[in-house]
Amino acid sequence: MTISVEPVKPHIGGIVHVSPDHLLDDETIETVRRELETRGVLVFPQINVSDQLQLAFTDRLGERVNFTRQVPGSDADTPDVYKITLDRKLNSEPDYVLGTFFWHIDGITIDQPLPKATVLSARKLSASGGATEFANLYAAWDLLPEDEKREYEGLTVIHCVEAAVRPVHGHPSEERRARYKAMAAVMEQPLVWTHEDGRKSLLLGTHGDGIVGMPGPHGRALLTRLQQWAAQPDLVYTHKWREGDLVIWNNQGLMHRVVPYTDEGRVMHRTTIAGKERPGVPADPAHIERIYQTA
């Protein structure tokens, strides 16, 4: 065999041992697809891929998708490679990057099938901070008590970009709020997602702004409790990056966040694999209005 996977924790994480020359082999691709479903997040230590190899790897795993074309960080030469950085020469508006300091799922506020997986490579690292944490939302559902599972099934959550960046700016200006609304839709997503294969996962993140049918404070309190549950240590893998590392994770079953950093030199290159399942729909305006009422 040209590839092996070393488990990190019982519920999450795998270290992949394979050479760059075999990254695109059928055996590698089949192994990665299988292990993503069980391990959730896979690390290729210091494999040092180029943009071209990263894109080729992405394409071998599925159709690529770019849901951040309206966000600074892409260039004409490699438009499907998003550069995650606080360097204003590459990203003139880093709000979107600062929002990644908080738990989130990529693309959940876009009206399209939820991206299947995210591929991220470390090009330049920060002097401190910058580790990425991943939490297994399949395991978080599986481990819930049965009475709570019955309570949560059927609930619908409002997700929006404004909520995702609220911790960054607090109360943004109207001009900034208008930009957020132009980036993405306000979406209604199931709290408990039953996937096409029958498995279930929670859908959580800072972008969750309330639960349909509940007063705003009650819904947000429940979402906070569940986010804390999903982030319990046994369900979380923290990756401390080294330059050249490549990480891929199942975006449909994990939430993630980055440990805060201030170094503008940190640069990560992201590509994304399209999904086929669309769990949610654009939000009903009446539902949005209701979650901001406290009575």
- The string of pLDDT tens digits covering residues 78-111 is 779 999 999 988 887 777 789 999 999 999 999 9
The torsion of the CA quartet 204, 209, 212, 213, rounded to 10 degrees, works out to 120
Q: Do residues 263 and 55 touch, judged by C-beta distance below 8 A?
A: no
Q: Is the per-residue pLDDT at 70 higher than 80?
A: no
Compute φ and ψ for 45, nearest 5 degrees.
Answer: -65, 125
Summarize the confidence of residues 47-65 as an average pLDDT. Answer: 97
Q: Is the per-residue pLDDT at 295 higher than 50?
A: no
Q: Which two tokens stand for residue 14?
A: 């795998």
For the chain, what percent of residues have pLDDT higher than 70?
96
Distances in Å between the Cα of 260 and the Cα atoms of 128, 166, 178 are: 9, 16, 26
3-state DSSP assignment of residue 144: coil
Q: Do residues 145 and 93 touch, judged by C-beta distance below 8 A?
A: no
Q: Which residue has the higher pLDDT, 277 or 174?
A: 277
Q: Do residues 265 and 126 touch, judged by C-beta distance below 8 A?
A: yes
Mean pLDDT (the chain) is 93
Flag the least confident range among 7-11, 173-177, 236-240, 258-262. Answer: 173-177
Q: Where are the alpha helices (DSSP H) in 4-145?
A: 26-39, 51-61, 95-98, 137-142
Say what the pTM is: 0.94
Q: Is the per-residue pLDDT at 5 higher than 70?
A: yes
Report which DSSP code applies to 191.
S
What are 279-294's pLDDT values in tens digits?
Answer: 999 999 999 999 988 6
